Structure 1
Amino acid sequence: MSTSVTLSAATRQNLLSLQDTAALTSTTQNRLATGLKVSSALDSPVNFFTAQALQGRSGDLNALLDSISNGVQTIQAANQGITSIQKLIDSAKSTANQALSTQITTTGTATNAYAPADGTITFYVNGGDAKSVTIAEDTTIDQAIAALNDEAGSKIFAKDKSGEKIVMNASADVEFADTDSQTLLGFTAGTGTAPDYGDATAKPTVPQASELTVSGVDGRRKLAEQYNSILTQITQLAKDASFNGVNLISNGDPSNRLHIAFNEKDTANLDVQGQDLTSDGLNLAAIGPNSGSGSVINGQGNFLLDGDIKTTLTTLGNATDNLRAASSTFGSNLSVVQNRQDFTKRLVNILDTGAANLTNADLNEEAANSQALSTRQSLGISALSLANQAQQGILQLLR
């Protein structure tokens, strides 16, 4: 005996239409809920896997953006360090110029009248080579003064108004090698501590005579100490100009470099080479009591010689040139990195947009579809009802 139900063609067609409408309604509701028109490979294999690839690359580039951002900050830290070091260099130049303008003089009049006697007078001018003049009992004061000035290379000795005493008026630090040299000229023998401005071992001197006053030496020595302090600050500042443990201006070793990858395969990258911009790296030597700046001249130091100070200023000028060159290099690298950073951000946006275009649903369209399907379902139910009315008429006849 058959158990199947016989449906008319109209009823069966209406049922199929209602089933299709229900399936479409389910799909539309899923898209509205997830916002995706392709949520799995079953929906559209090509779109799904293409979008996955685009999103994967976008994620890789997003991870690189953090590294690129750190690179930007590291270069900016180095550039800020260079700017601050230049200010210290300018301060060092000011100190050196102040030392150069500080005049060194040795002045005074002998207490005793010149009394010619056999002997040798030995003295040093600004710690240079020994100057020696031999006088005899018949050497007049004028002859002695002429010989001393000739040996010194400038007129630093003269006689007072009485014509009997030696007067010193030198634009330099004049020191005597022994007390006999002082007393032969009528000065008193120096007592106390011998000056150590020059190389005391190579040029032993005696304490300055009480009549002589040396000015400018202590001032230049203090300025040399200030200069050395600035050099220390330059080195400390360079070592502090780091970001995330990377310092590009305190070590010029080839291994000290910043590597920045611009793509996920590291086939596009930039290596920023570190430089040594400490005082040593800039060839700025400290000024000591027995050394000149840039060269050792007879052991003088502490800005005693104008020539040493001018050498120091030249070295500072070279340091400024090096800083400007380094700043230009880092600035160029920074421009490249920032440009790639902006490019990567835009590329990530393009990849995300492309993936979204392949998988995201148009919610406005899906909302309209939902309303249309709801209407279609209502109409389908009404059509099914009409299709069944013929069978209901036969039922009425049987009653």
Structure 2
Amino acid sequence: MAFSVNTNTSALSALFNLNSTTRQLESTQTHINTGLKISSAKDNAAIFSIAQKLRGDLKGYNAVKQSLDRSISTTDIALAAAGSISDLLIEMKEKATAASDSGLDATSRTALNEDFIALRDQITTMVSNAEFNGTNMIDAGTDVVTAITNPSATQTITIAHQNMALGGGIVDVTATQTIATQVDASVTLALITASLTKVSASLTKLGAGAKSLEAQRVFADKIADTIEVGIGNLVDANMAKESANLQALQVKQQLGVQALSIANQAPQSILNIFGG
């Protein structure tokens, strides 16, 4: 063995190994603190890049779910209002049928007409209140529901507008319709019958659209969950493994400090050669 006071090879080797252990210990502590085995590109550039892309997709699906939620709420309100309008039309049909009787006395006809007008005006109220987040799918406007279904917003589900305002095309009964006379009642009865058929068709369209939105919402949840699990598989630290590594490295570090201490004392043995 060569003895030198200028170069302590053993100490250099011990210091190198100790520094290596310290770096591994710092890395393990970072994994434990963050819960991630890959928290930056320097840990693994390729996997970090993949994980970042997946994180972007996950954020995109969060936006998809928000869009679907808004669309579902808007459609549900339109469906509820359309169902209520259908119920009102059925009640109005009953009044119109009764008022079509030519032998009806004036008092009864007046009462039926007042009831009819009250029901008629409720339709207007329901149509105007069937709004969510500024969108009304059944008024005299042109609002449609459009929900994005993918993170790049290139695919959508669209539900068409259904104009259920009085005299608007689906509901043929006008805002001034009455059953004040037998003739008026007969005319109105025919309009109500036609309106019920068209409202039922609109309800079918809205219902099918709502079902599609809800199915897509469930699918978006599944996709988002799958992406989140995939990201975790790529970058999450195995905490049980990291805990074991931490204990092993702490022991290794302590031993490295002792080894360096012993190596640093080696040059003093040269004094023995000179009788020191």
TM-score higher than 0.5 here? yes
- The residue that corresponds to 2:194 in the other structure is 318
Is the radius of gyration larger for structure 1 or structure 2?
A: 1
- The residue that corresponds to 2:129 in the other structure is 240
> Any idea what the Cα deviations from partners look like across 1:95-138, whole Å, max 9, x if unmatched?
2233245734xxxxxxxxxxxxxxxxxxxxxxxxxxxxxxxxxx
- Matched-pair contact (CA < 8 Å) for 1:217–1:304: no
- The residue that corresponds to 1:7 in the other structure is 8
Note if 1:337 corresponds to 2:213. Answer: yes
Q: Distance in 2 between matches of 1:273 and 1:325?
A: 12
- The residue that corresponds to 1:33 in the other structure is 33
> Any idea what the Cα deviations from partners look like across 1:225-257, whole Å, max 9, x if unmatched?
332332122122112111111111112x6x432
User: For 1:229, which of 115, 118, 141 is the aligned residue?
Assistant: 118
Q: Counterpart of 2:200 in structure 1: which amino acid?
A: R
- Matched-pair contact (CA < 8 Å) for 2:60–2:152: no
- Matched-pair contact (CA < 8 Å) for 1:283–1:319: yes
> Any idea what the Cα deviations from partners look like across 1:20-58, whole Å, max 9, x if unmatched?
211211211222222222222222111111111111121
User: For 1:370, which of 222, 235, 246 is the aligned residue?
Assistant: 246
User: Cα gap change, 1:390/1:268 in structure 2, threshold over 3 Å: closer, same or farther?
Assistant: closer
SS in 1 for 2:182: coil
Gaps of 5+ in 2: none
SS in 1 for 2:119: helix
Count of residue pairs the alignment pairs up: 269
Q: Counterpart of 1:47 in structure 2: which amino acid?
A: I
Q: Distance in 1 between matches of 2:138 and 2:53?
A: 41
- Matched-pair contact (CA < 8 Å) for 1:58–1:352: yes
User: Cα gap change, 1:380/1:57 in structure 2, threshold over 3 Å: closer, same or farther?
Assistant: same
Note if 1:304 corresponds to 2:182. Answer: yes
Trace 1:1-399 onto structure 2 (pairs within 5 A). Answer: 5-8=6-9, 10-100=10-100, 103-104=103-104, 216-251=105-140, 255-281=142-168, 282-285=171-174, 286-287=176-177, 302-305=180-183, 309-384=185-260, 395=271, 398-399=275-276
> Any idea what the Cα deviations from partners look like across 1:130-171, whole Å, max 9, x if unmatched?
xxxxxxxxxxxxxxxxxxxxxxxxxxxxxxxxxxxxxxxxxx
- The residue that corresponds to 1:295 in the other structure is none
SS in 2 for 1:332: helix
Flag the structure with higher strand content. Answer: 1
Q: Distance in 2 between matches of 1:42 and 1:341?
A: 37
Q: Distance in 1 between matches of 2:109 and 2:253?
A: 102
Q: Distance in 1 between matches of 2:56 and 2:43?
A: 20
Q: Distance in 1 between matches of 2:115 and 2:102?
A: 14
Q: Counterpart of 1:327 in structure 2: which amino acid?
A: L
Q: Distance in 2 between matches of 1:21 and 1:263?
A: 46
Q: Counterpart of 1:5 in structure 2: which amino acid?
A: N
Q: Counterpart of 2:218 in structure 1: which amino acid?
A: D
Gaps of 5+ in 1: 105-215, 289-300
- Matched-pair contact (CA < 8 Å) for 2:8–2:264: no
Q: Distance in 2 between matches of 1:36 and 1:287?
A: 70
Q: Distance in 1 between matches of 2:177 and 2:107?
A: 14
Q: Distance in 2 between matches of 1:74 and 1:241?
A: 8
Q: Distance in 2 between matches of 1:362 and 1:287?
A: 73
Q: Counterpart of 2:248 in structure 1: which amino acid?
A: A
Q: Distance in 1 between matches of 2:177 and 2:26?
A: 87
Q: Distance in 1 between matches of 2:210 and 2:189?
A: 31
Q: Counterpart of 2:236 in structure 1: which amino acid?
A: N
Q: Distance in 2 between matches of 1:4 and 1:235?
A: 101
